[in-house]
């Protein structure tokens, strides 16, 4: 099993500058509001946010009164998450670690994986490690919620190229390719800001709802609801996102 990959060094300050304009506070609040409707929890519930990034969901859940643990591989993003929590006046337990090695047992009422954080490792075996770890970390009546890209929509609306300018003054160009046999999206991101230039690469395994259903069940997580977005729209073949709510088997 490869313990290193494209994610080493990818999630740095440049990553934040490239994507934070899309990940607004209003979007985060809408996502957490939808999550609370999909998975109603008691006020003091314990929540694990897997691949928490710079803590936008973890901090918002803590603001809602939950006891939150945020786990991520990137020390850079966790440092931002800590500052974010301090600024919001909330307490969150931050843990640096590999999501294939979730070690808690029967601790959490809810485990979440949001913003297409599953699929980094490409293989079913490694994603199963993550899912089995999530299942193990849940209390017997716990809930697992995952959000990811929807393969059917990716295939029908695939954009090979894109570009935008960030509020931080960078110009970003993206080139993509999708391998329909492997189910892998590959993306090259180039950026410039003044005299600074750089390039990033990432790849993501994108599955259909049918494939996720089988993988989740294999990991001991039973899907009970499929949603098309955080506003609780029904999941359809045209839905851009796939949100799955599971109970522990």
Please state the length of the chain.
249
Say if residue 173 is in the same domain as residue 69. Answer: no
- The pTM score is 0.94
Q: Which of 223, 230, 180 is nearest to 205 (CA)?
A: 180
Per-residue confidence in pLDDT tens, the chain, 249 aa: 456 789 888 999 999 999 999 999 999 999 999 999 999 998 899 999 999 999 999 999 999 999 999 999 999 999 999 999 999 999 999 999 999 999 999 999 999 999 999 999 999 999 999 999 999 999 999 999 999 999 999 888 888 999 999 998 999 999 999 999 999 999 999 999 888 999 999 999 999 999 999 999 999 999 999 999 999 999 999 999 999 999 999
- Hunting for tokens 């003054």 — which residue is that? 169
Say if residue 58 is in the same domain as residue 176. Answer: no
Phi, psi values for residue 39, rounded to 5°: -135, 75
Hey, which bits of 57-183 come out as E strands?
A: 67-72, 92-96, 108-113, 138-149, 161-165, 171-179
Say if residue 112 is in the same domain as residue 40. Answer: yes
The predicted pLDDT at position 2 comes to 52
Say if residue 197 is in the same domain as residue 217. Answer: no
The arrangement of strands across the sheet holding 241-248 comes to 92-96, 67-72, 46-50, 108-113, 138-149, 241-248, 221-227
Q: Which domain holds residue 168?
A: 154-202
Q: Looking at the domain assignment, is residue 87 inside a domain?
A: yes
- Using DSSP bridges, classify how beta strands 171-179 and 161-165 pair: parallel, antiparallel or unpaired: antiparallel
CA–CA separation, 223 and 197 (whole Å): 44
Residue ending a domain, among 164, 186, 202, is: 202
Q: Looking at the domain assignment, is residue 4 inside a domain?
A: no
Say if residue 217 is in the same domain as residue 198. Answer: no
Q: Looking at the domain assignment, is residue 8 inside a domain?
A: no
The secondary structure element, H or E, covering residue 212 is: helix 209-218
Number of domains in the chain: 2
Residue 215 near residue 123, CB atoms below 8 Å: no
The predicted pLDDT at position 1 comes to 47
CATH number at residue 21: 3.40.50.150
Q: Looking at the domain assignment, is residue 173 inside a domain?
A: yes
Which H, E and C letters describe 104-134, residue by residue? CCCCEEEEEECCCCCCCCCCHHHHHHHHHHH
The predicted pLDDT at position 194 comes to 87
Q: Looking at the domain assignment, is residue 42 inside a domain?
A: yes
- Taking CA atoms, 85 is separated from 4, 52, 59, in Å, by 28, 12, 6
The secondary structure element, H or E, covering residue 195 is: none
The predicted pLDDT at position 4 comes to 74
Say if residue 237 is in the same domain as residue 122. Answer: yes
CA–CA separation, 150 and 116 (whole Å): 10
């Amino acid at each position: 099993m490869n313990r290193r990959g494209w994610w080493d060094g990818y999630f740095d300050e440049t990553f934040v500058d490239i994507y934070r304009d899309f990940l607004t506070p209003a979007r985060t609040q809408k996502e957490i509001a939808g999550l609370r409707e999909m998975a109603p929890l008691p006020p003091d519930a314990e929540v694990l946010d897997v691949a928490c990034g710079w803590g936008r969901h973890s901090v918002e859940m803590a603001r809602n009164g939950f006891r939150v643990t945020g786990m991520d591989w990137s020390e850079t993003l966790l440092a931002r998450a800590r500052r974010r929590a301090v600024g919001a006046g909330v307490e969150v337990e931050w843990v640096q670690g590999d999501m294939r090695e979730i070690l808690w047992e029967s601790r959490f009422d809810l485990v979440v994986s949001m913003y297409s954080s599953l699929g980094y490792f490409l293989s079913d075996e490694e994603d199963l490690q993550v899912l089995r770890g999530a299942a193990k970390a849940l209390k017997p009546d716990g809930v697992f919620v995952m959000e990811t890209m929807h393969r059917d929509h990716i295939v029908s609306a695939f954009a090979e190229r894109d570009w935008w300018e960030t509020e931080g003054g960078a110009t970003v160009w993206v080139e993509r390719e999708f391998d329909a046999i492997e189910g892998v999206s590959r993306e090259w991101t180039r950026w410039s800001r003044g005299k600074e230039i750089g390039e990033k690469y990432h790849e993501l395994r994108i599955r259909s709802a049918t494939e996720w259903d089988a993988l989740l069940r294999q990991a001991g997580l039973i899907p009970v609801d499929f949603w098309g977005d955080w506003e609780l729209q029904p999941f359809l073949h045209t839905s851009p996102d796939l949100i799955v709510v599971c109970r522990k088997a």
